[in-house]
Structure 1
């Protein structure tokens, strides 16, 4: 059991500083990663409402030194990626995911490659087959 697990013992100054730093970073980053970052402002046109949807992730790290004049440092960041949108039309809501543009290239390319290579492999295997 560590000293921070025992409530009767005082918390070392470095642990208290690290805890304060963690709380401060969490508050600052948490305020930026709000619901409006995940679900954007709805847009309505011609009876259709579209609500953008994004993935939000945040992380942080901090550290404290030991000894006289030790520094307390920390940092963090927030990242978002669009994931799709919710379409509300005629009283029905449907989630529409956004696909990566590379999927539109990779799938046809993989199919063309498989269509070219497969007959070559079949011929080669048939040629080396014991009779």
Structure 2
């Protein structure tokens, strides 16, 4: 059985959407700065498509193979954050201010842990007793 024209239309639509929306669209290509910091853009991607068609059913035999159809797609790409990798530490920088308190706290948690760990190490160095002088 021959392929119906709507199948070809749907295949082309899906191929084009696949080209527009892939993993490189969501997590962008890494940007590496001179000091070795790697920055990864993160985006929110929304897309939709519609496709349809009809066979023309006419009394004229010449019209029996006529087909009308169309398709359309839309993509919305919104940058939402950056992942910053420096000296083995990963930090998230969110771009939207509409995040609720819990999301902001979770975003700040890794940085807070790093700062507390640095303070603890600093205090441990101060508390170490000095070696006694030999006489």
TM-score range, shorter chain: 0.5 to 0.7
Structure 1 residue runs of 5 or longer lacking an equivalent are 1-9, 104-131
What CA distance in whole angstroms lies between the structure 2 residues aligned with 1:26 and 1:70?
20
Instruction: Give the C-alpha shift of residue 17 in structure 1.
Output: 2.5
Q: How much is the aligned-residue C-alpha RMSD, in angstroms?
A: 2.3
**One of 20, 25, 28 as aligned partner of 2:8:** 20
**Could you tell me how far 1:21 is from its partner in structure 2?**
1.5
Q: Which runs of 5+ in 2 are unaligned?
A: 57-62, 99-135
Q: Secondary structure at the match of 1:63?
A: strand
3-state SS of paired residue (1:71): strand
Question: Is the radius of gyration larger for structure 1 or structure 2?
Answer: 2
Scaled by the length of structure 1, the TM-score of the pair is: 0.58
Larger helix share, 1 or 2: 1
Shift of 1:88: 0.5
Residue matched to 1:47: 36
1:1-131 matches, cutoff 5 A: 16-45=4-33, 46-67=35-56, 68=63, 69-100=66-97, 103=98
TM-score normalised by length of structure 2 = 0.56
